[in-house]
Amino acid sequence: MSENKRGLGKGLGALISGGESTSAATTLSTKSTPDELVYLEVSPSDISPNPRQPRSVFDEEAMSELVHSIHEIGLLQPVVVRRSDGATPFELVAGERRWRACQQAGLESMPVIIRPTTDDALLRDALLENLHRAQLNPLEEAAAYQQLLADFGGTQEELATRLGRSRPQVANTLRLLKLPPAVQRKVASGVISAGHAKALLSLDDAAEMDVLADRIVAEGLSVRTTEEIVLLRRDSGPKRKRGGTRGPSPEMIDAALAVETRLGDRLDTKVSISGARTAKARGKLVIDFADLDDLLRILDTLDPT
């Protein structure tokens, strides 16, 4: 087995059959029925591009970022291939950017999902059906969501409906992929939790996220303590620079966090409070919504009459 970074494809491998890594020679001897999906790791050189690929131009800057990401944390999303009788054992179905980036990154093996039919719904339905049963870490789950949306279309609302989850839950999980690479590695390895990661996403600066993530690990900070630190930085940082204004009192931090948590759980979305520094100070309550349908859902929750 290659010692190169394998990324998080292993999580998706848990969703379907054939989850062990294998060489191309072993791959060719693997038998699968027309309705079976197989997860393998193969050499990028064993894959040929899809001759019907509609995209002919690949943005160089975006490709460089993807290559860097693969160097840092490995390939998050397996590509989809089918068996081929041509010059290579496999032919791409979806994921040419990822395949090209793996070649540029010099990976000896990469995760693939073999789809033995041309029916896109087969893979989509199999992944959706098994997401409930697989033990994925939060970042693997986010990568699986993104793969489904990118490779097979549909909206976050449709994906949420198929999974039996709310649209904000899917959106918040996908937001984990916006974390800096170093923080993503901590989430993937379980060093920090999804709760920590969501708190870090409230910061605007990637460098701040990295620093606070390191502090979470070094000091064993709880999610609640992390949220308090983020709230202090978010609300009082800019004001301290301009006029030395003190941050929120401990009582206001506790009250704000309690309201954010309770109301966020009730409305199934992100809720944030800012501005209030004392018990008598005015502040601002912000409730996030994904689209008009989500806004109307929130309204129905607040006022069911």
The H or E element spanning position 31 is none
Q: At what angle do helices 167-174 and 138-152 cross, to 10 degrees?
A: 100
Task: Determine contact, residues 168/294, Cβ cutoff 8 Å.
Answer: yes
213: Cβ contacts below 8 Å, ≥ 6 apart: 182, 183, 186, 192, 196, 200
d(CA 8, CA 140): 6
60: Cβ contacts below 8 Å, ≥ 6 apart: none
Return the amino acid letter for 302: L
Tell me how crowded residue 295 is: count the other CB atoms within 10 A of its CB: 14
Q: What is the DSSP letter of 201?
A: T
* Token pair 């704000």 in the structure block, residue: 256
Token duo for residue 123: 């893979």
Beta bridge partners of 17: 38
Strands (E), the chain: 38-42, 47-48, 79-83, 90-94, 110-114, 271-274, 284-287
List residues with catalytic annotation.
Answer: 96
104: Cβ contacts below 8 Å, ≥ 6 apart: 63, 67
Token duo for residue 4: 């190169």
